[in-house]
Amino acid sequence: MADASASPEMLDPTGRVVMLSGASRGIGLAIARRLHAQGYTLSLGVRNPDAAVFAAFDPARTLVQRFDAEQAETAAQWVDATVARFGRIDALINNAGILRPLDLRSGDESVLDEMWAVNVKAPFRLIRLALPHLEKGGHGRIINVASTDGKRYRDTVSVAYAMTKHAVMALTHAAKFAGWEKGVRVTALCPGAVDTDLVASVPGVTPSANRIAPETIAETVAFLLRLPNTASVAELVLNTRLESWI
Ligand SMILES: NC(=O)c1ccc[n+]([C@@H]2O[C@H](COP(=O)([O-])OP(=O)(O)OC[C@H]3O[C@@H](n4cnc5c(N)ncnc54)[C@H](OP(=O)(O)O)[C@@H]3O)[C@@H](O)[C@H]2O)c1
């Protein structure tokens, strides 16, 4: 029976096509599973489309496409394949990301280039490519998985990671302005430590028991995707620790 208290404004997942990068593991896999359970049609951009983990997804409403954030041509190929298969794009979730140690006193500058390519340039490129399609439906959504490291600076193993996540915040607000008139709403989702491989070997990171479960991030994404155009969430911080302002 329909929930009589549910808001009539919330968007229906059925038939909506969501592009999601980095769906192979961690936060991305949790998001993919949650959105699949809700009935979305998924276009998953991953480096290895043959991974066994995708066997559980309904092939009628799932496309698993090769996407490598460091290979520009694969972004266009993924967008084209999504439109060719499903005829539309309703949401883009820029989730793929990497964290490599680099500070101002040590480490090779090439690490900054690598993180810039994956964490910033690839989302920039995908937004450019997907925006015309997102605008068509009048309710397009973009979620950029940023970080609390995009909201403030505190001592960290990687000043370069913090720099890229601050850039993702600027990109988010730029996309918000670009798509606003045609109903595209854009969110920078900024979690603290999430219990995935990304932080497993980071010295001094929040202990595992205090980290956010990837499934909690997935539930938050599911909520954001259903919000109507009248409820724009430009930034959403989910912190694991007590800090000022965030
Ligand atoms: N974990 C945290 O504490 C935390 C906190 C805040 C924000 N975040 C952000 O959340 C996002 C997901 O992180 P996670 O914790 O789920 O990390 P993760 O478990 O290490 O997973 C990273 C994902 O990104 C993909 N990826 C890495 N390099 C790629 C490339 N060149 N091309 C395409 N895909 C690539 C990986 O694919 P492969 O399987 O092919 O390597 C994997 O699916 C990242 O943007 C991260 O910065 C994480």
Percent of the residues in the chain that have a pLDDT greater than 70, as a whole number: 99
Q: 186 CA to middle of ligand 1, Å? A: 20
Which atom of ligand 1 is found nearest the CA of 211? 3
What does the pLDDT read at residue 1?
Answer: 54
Instruction: Indicate the pLDDT class of residue 189, thresholds 50, 70 and 90.
Output: very high
What does the pLDDT read at residue 5?
Answer: 79
Q: How far is CA 140 from CA 26, 55, 127, 146, in A?
A: 25, 28, 11, 19
Q: 182 CA to middle of ligand 1, Å? A: 30
Percent of the residues in the chain that have a pLDDT greater than 90, as a whole number: 91
What does the pLDDT read at residue 2?
Answer: 58
Which residue is closest in CA terms to ligand 1's atom 44?
97
Instruction: Indicate the pLDDT class of residue 198, thresholds 50, 70 and 90.
Output: very high
Q: 154 CA to middle of ligand 1, Å? A: 21
- Res 4 pLDDT > 80: no
What does the pLDDT read at residue 157?
Answer: 87
The arithmetic mean of pLDDT across residues 10-32, rounded, is 98
CB 72 within 8 A of CB 119: no
Q: Which residue has the tokens 């929040």?
A: 206
What does the pLDDT read at residue 129?
Answer: 98
The arithmetic mean of pLDDT across residues 231-246, rounded, is 97
Element (H, E) at 27: helix 26-37
State pLDDT tens for residues 33-80: 999 999 999 999 999 999 899 999 999 999 999 999 999 999 999 999
The arithmetic mean of pLDDT across residues 216-245, rounded, is 97
Tell me which residues have their CB closer than 6 angstroms to ligand 1.
Answer: 21-22, 24-28, 47-48, 67-70, 95-99, 118, 145, 147, 191, 193-194, 196-199
Return the SS3 of 72: helix
Q: Which domains does the chain possess?
A: 17-238 (3.40.50.720)
Encoded tokens for 51: 């991974």
Neighbours of 207 (CB within 10 A): 9
**Which residues are the active-site residues?**
161
Q: 199 CA to middle of ligand 1, Å? A: 10
Backbone angles phi, psi at 187, to 5 degrees: -130, 135
Which residue is closest in CA terms to ligand 1's atom 21?
26
Residue of 19, 29, 47, 71 best suited for mutating to test ligand 1, as the one with most atoms within 8 Å of CB: 47
